[in-house]
Amino acid sequence: MTVHGERENIPSVARSEAPGALKRFVDTYNTAYRELDPDLLRRVETGPLEEIFTADLTAQRARNASGNPGFPPLELSDARYHIPKQVGWPKFFVADVRSNREAPDSGTRWLLVFSRDGAEERWRVAYLSILSRDEVPLFATDEDGWAEAVPTGRAGRLAVAPAALSKAYTSYLMTGEGPFAEGPSTTRLRDHRKQFLRTPKFWTEYIDTPAEGPRYAPVGLRTKDGGALVFFSSHHREKQTMAKGVRPEPAPEVKPLLKGEAKKAVTLTRLAESAVRIPARDAADPRVVFVNRMEGVTAAKGE
């Protein structure tokens, strides 16, 4: 009997298939970073994570064309898979793992969101979030142990619709108004930026815009408290214009990405991918809480 994943509500991946997708990711990731090969990384990453990491590899390769044979291999263990039932494509699942990049007794977990757009495609990682032991939520499951994907286009039983997160967050960074709790990715980030709006050597302009389109689609899993853990992305630009007589000095990791000559100003384009807890719609505190945010420079322009 043929099961049609485009129209039937079925698990996004067989439990027996998920470990193979994780192994393929780790093996290819390690080879890509030893060889500093962005094209190789694209085979196992997609969306915001691919954009951040391939820019990083491109910059590293420009500084070291011979590669990085001493790259310490990434090792992921103690995998737990959160697999939702879904209708249609794309489909996703989350691998919750322990990484050798963290202290063994820290309890820190890596959550990798695997995604694919069709049955003939390979699984690739779209989001990566690093959470402490206390930040990893208890996910809601049905009687068979399958996780529950949350609808992204509407709020449903959530305080905020996942699809509205990127616009709400980038608007918050510009205005200070939005449904977000205090923390490093919200109030403290805005306070940090204020320090660099105008200094004796340069002044800074910030422009934050939502990440739109299928490439940046948010995904989320329902949690046992009625809320959800949602992964989403956002765009951020930062232009530093130097005072008279001062020349910009782009960081070494930025120079390989620089287009144009940096005589008086440099604009950095960053992409952030974040994991947040969205409360249930009837929760006493409806604010969205960031549990992880990773940001990388994806482009730079000199003037």
- Average pLDDT on 253-262 reads 94
Q: How confident is the model at residue 154 (pLDDT cuts 50, 70, 90)?
A: confident
Residue 295 has pLDDT above 60, yes or no: yes
**Cβ contact 275:223 at 8 Å:** no
- Average pLDDT on 37-45 reads 97
Q: How many CB atoms lie within 10 A of CB 195?
A: 9
Domain with CATH 3.10.450 in the chain: 1-137
Q: Tell me, what's the pLDDT at 29? A: 98
* 245 CB-near residues (< 8 Å, 6+ apart): none
Q: Tell me, what's the pLDDT at 2? A: 42
Nearest to 239 by CA among 250, 231, 228: 250
- Domain 1-137: assigned CATH number: 3.10.450
Interval 160-210: pLDDT, tens = 999 999 999 999 999 999 999 999 999 999 999 999 999 999 999 999 999
Interval 92-118: pLDDT, tens = 999 999 999 998 889 999 999 999 999
Nearest to 108 by CA among 82, 129, 124: 129
Q: How confident is the model at residue 133 (pLDDT cuts 50, 70, 90)?
A: confident
Q: How confident is the model at residue 56 (pLDDT cuts 50, 70, 90)?
A: very high
Lookup: tokens for 275: 């994991």
Residue 3 has pLDDT above 50, yes or no: no
Report how far residue 93's alpha carbon sits from residue 85's, in angstroms, rounded to the nearest whole number.
Answer: 9
Which residue shows structure tokens 């994991």? 275
